[in-house]
Amino acid sequence: MMMKIHPYVEVLETTDTKLTEKLIEEWRKETGATVPLWFNFYDDEDLFEVRATIEKMEHFPEVDSLFHYMCEHSDLSLHLDWDETPTRTTDFEMRYLDRPSGAPHPVPEDRFNF
In a domain, 1, yes or no: no
Q: Which residues pair with 16 in a beta bridge?
A: none
- Whether 21 is covered by a domain: the verdict is yes
pLDDT at residue 1, rounded to an integer: 46
- Is the CB of residue 69 less than 8 Å from the CB of residue 27? yes
Domain count for the chain: 1
Nearest Cα to Cα of residue 80 among 1, 69, 27: 69
The string of DSSP letters for 69-87 reads HHHHT---EEEEE-TTPPT
- Which is it for strands 107-108 and 77-81: parallel, antiparallel or unpaired? unpaired
Q: The whole model's pTM is what? A: 0.91
Write out pLDDT tens, residues 14-71: 888 999 999 999 999 999 999 999 999 987 778 899 999 999 999 999 999 999 999 9
> Is 114 within the bounds of a domain?
no
* Structural domain harbouring 80: 8-108
Are 71 and 78 in contact by the 8 Å Cβ rule? The answer is yes
pLDDT of res. 112: 57
- pLDDT band of 102, cuts 50, 70, 90: confident
Q: Residue 114 has what pLDDT?
A: 46
